[in-house]
Each structure stands twice: as structure tokens, then as C-alpha cells.
Structure 1
């Protein structure tokens, strides 16, 4: 199974720990991330923690609030619409550029990622969902000759990882994602590239709609009784 590159710096390692804590719900939306408490928890000084929080702010997972410090970002309907609409525009284009160049080894890699996704699902390993989803999508696009688009999509997938983890925590959504990922790989393998790109666009739109439903449900549950 492909793994993420190991962080090259101490602050990079702290970024990964805090990021996974946010994605797993250890640090809920709206909660304050105190530098001194994080430094003590991870056995480091405040400097790499401060650097990590600035990096997470750039990713959209954290907001730096005056007089309050770092706060875990709330779920944002505007951000979901923005990120997923951009993904629906760019990812089919990347797929059409990449898919005709995918070779046997690429499909072996895709099958391994899909297998790891199924294992994570069976084990209820929520922390792996968003990461494996991003790995699978980028493995589909790795042969594209559109480096700038690929760079932008990498950032979009990183931003949407938190949302994807939330969406895939629903068993029905997870089951559908497994089927759709498998079908998308098979369409590329059978060289039905236009059909695969159309299917991908629908896949991304479905995730967006699922997320908007989840947020609407949360807001309704949190609303005061009349």
C-alpha cells in the first residue's frame, strides 16, 4: 500500500499529528488549539507547533483568531461548494490526460490502494479514509501532462480530506464510494476514457451533495427548539 512521504522536519511531523487529530475528531470544530498544551503533548518546544499551526491555517483546517490563537475551522458550506466545484472541473480534465498513459504497474498500484481502502473500511479506520481517497485519485492522475492542474488538485484534495472523512463515516456513502472507485478504475482499464471522466464528475458531485446533507442535518440538530 502506498504511504505518505515522511515529514522532513519536526514541524512537518507536528502538522501531521494535529491534522490527523482534527480529521479523527480529537480536536472538534471550534475548539482552541493552545500552543503550550500541544507542545507539552508532543514533547517539543512551541516553535515547531507555531509553524505547524500556520501550515494548517494555509490548508484551511485551522483559523488564527486575534486574542484567541488557533481554532479548528468550522464546517463550511461555502468552502465545500467552492472546493468540490473546482474538483469537478479539474479532475475529469486530469483523468482524460492521464488515463491513456496508465500502464500495468499503475493499475496494480490503484488496485492496492483500493484494497487498502476496503481494509480500512472493514476495520473502521476512519483516520485512513480521506488520505486513501486522495491517494487513489492522484494515482489516477499521475500520468497527466498538466503539472499545474495536478498541483492545484493536490491542494484541493488536501483541503477536502476533512470533509471526505466526514462523508465516508456514513456506511451507505462508504459502500457507494467503494463501488464507484472500483468502477472508475475498471473504466480506465477498459480504455473507456470519456465515460470514466463523466463518471468521475458525477462521483465528485455526489460527494458534495452528501456533505451538504450532513451539514444541514447537523445544523438542524443544533438549532434551539421552538
Structure 2
């Protein structure tokens, strides 16, 4: 009897470091402006400095870190104007993805989105609302089957989410986003592409207004 070998594919060390750092930056575990020391990261990830150096170069290409002379890698800080620009990019990319996705949606896609909404409605912790919000949006974009477009959406959202995650959730609350999400899902189920895209644009523009209000209050 011939026994086939089980091949375990291990991901390259630079990818593991890159993805771990990206997640920590997006989640806020590593704050903007923080210095990323290669020796500490190498020890943390159990690797040499070479994969760490490569990971930092990749994150610099993504705009998450900046490698500065005599200081090394630093997590990039964005102004509110930068964030507002990225929210405009969200509108362009995500409305396009939704238009492509709606004709391709299966009942399983709609059921997944509905389940996420039900969990969101029952979640009392504001810090979890942002995560569930993104899960819902991703569920209705994924059926577009455009990997490059989805990758651009995910990368842009990751940048924006660092700054609006808890702040907007607390300012806006849960009820209005919940109502808009449910209406958006109904429009997706009905195949009403134009109204769904219009509602999505309005939904993201509300985040822009909340960010502007936050800047005014801080001033």
C-alpha cells in the first residue's frame, strides 16, 4: 500500500511578521507614531532580523509604516484630512463592488449577512461594533469575485479603521447603522442595485460627517 505524504506548507517568515504587525496596527494594539525596533520584533516573532526587515519594507509599501533615517520604522500617523480622503476612496471602491456583487449573490451570502446583523444587534460592547460592521460589509462585497478590487477595499478600510473604529461607534451609536444595514440587505435581496449603492454612499458619508464633527469638538 502506498501512503501519500502529507505536505505541510509553512508560510515564509516575512509574511508572518508582516501580517502580525499589520493586524496589530489595524487593531490599535500598536499606536500611530510608535517606533518598531527590529531586534525586539525579531525576538517577539522568533526569527532573525532579515524577515523583519523585509516585512517592514512591505508595510512601508502599504503605507502603514515609514522608515526614517536614524530612527528606523515608525507607524504612520494620518491627519483627519487624510482619513476623509480615504473615506471618499471607500465610497468609490465599495459602491462599485456592491454593484458587481448584487447580481451574483446567492441565498447563502444573504443568510451570512443576516446572521452577522443579528449578532451585531445583540452585541452590547461598542468596541465590537466596528468589527461586526466590517464583517457585514465584507459579506455583501465578497460575491463580486474581484480579488484585486476586494484587496484594495480591505487595505483602504484597514487604514481608516485605525482612526474611526471606536470613535465613530461611540458617537453614532448602534441604532442608525443597524437600520441602514437592514435596509441595505433588503435592497440586496431585492436586486435593487441603484438604491443599494446610493444608500451605501450615504452610509459612508455619515462617517465623514462624524469625523468632521469630532475635529470641531476637539478644536
TM-score (norm 1): 0.76
1:56 positional shift = 2.2
Bigger radius of gyration, 1 or 2?
Answer: 2
- Given that 1:29 and 1:74 are in contact with CA atoms closer than 8 Å, whether structure 2 keeps it comes out as yes
1:98-152 CA-to-partner distances (Å, cap 9, x unmatched) read 2122110111222233345456x534555x835x444432321233376654443
Tell me the number of residue pairs that the alignment of Structure 1 and Structure 2 aligns. 210
Please report how far the alpha carbon of residue 32 of structure 1 lies from its aligned counterpart in structure 2 after TM superposition: 0.9
Q: How many angstroms apart in 2 are the aligned matches of 1:62 and 1:12?
A: 16
Partner of 1:211: 211
CA contact (8 A) 1:167 1:207 kept: no
Q: Does residue 197 of the first structure (1) align with residue 197 of the second (2)?
A: yes
Unpaired runs of at least 5, structure 2: 1-9
Question: Equivalents in 2 of 1:13, 1:217: separation in Å?
Answer: 40
Root-mean-square deviation (CA), in Å? Answer: 2.9
Change beyond 3 A, Cα 1:25–1:139: closer
Alignment match, 2:178: 178
Instruction: Specify whether residues 18 and 192 from structure 1 end up closer, same or farther in structure 2 by C-alpha distance, changes over 3 A only.
Output: same
* Change beyond 3 A, Cα 1:146–1:18: closer
Q: Does the CA contact (< 8 Å) of 2:35 and 2:74 recur in 1?
A: yes
Q: Does 1:76 align with 2:79?
A: yes
| Structure 1 segment 150-165 matched on structure 2, within 5 A | 150-165=150-165
Residues 134 and 158 of structure 1 are in contact (CA less than 8 Å); yes or no, is this contact kept in structure 2?
no
3-state SS of 2:66 partner: strand
Q: Give unmatched runs, 5+ long, in structure 1.
A: 1-6, 221-226
More deviation in 61-70 or 142-151?
Answer: 142-151
Residues 84, 208 of structure 1: 8 Å contact kept: yes
Do the aligned partners of 2:26 and 2:159 also contact (CA within 8 Å) in 1? Answer: no
**1:70 offset after TM fit, Å?**
1.0
Partner residue, 1:34: 37
Q: Is the 8 A contact 2:126 2:170 kept in 1?
A: no
Task: Give TM-score scaled by structure 2 length.
Answer: 0.78
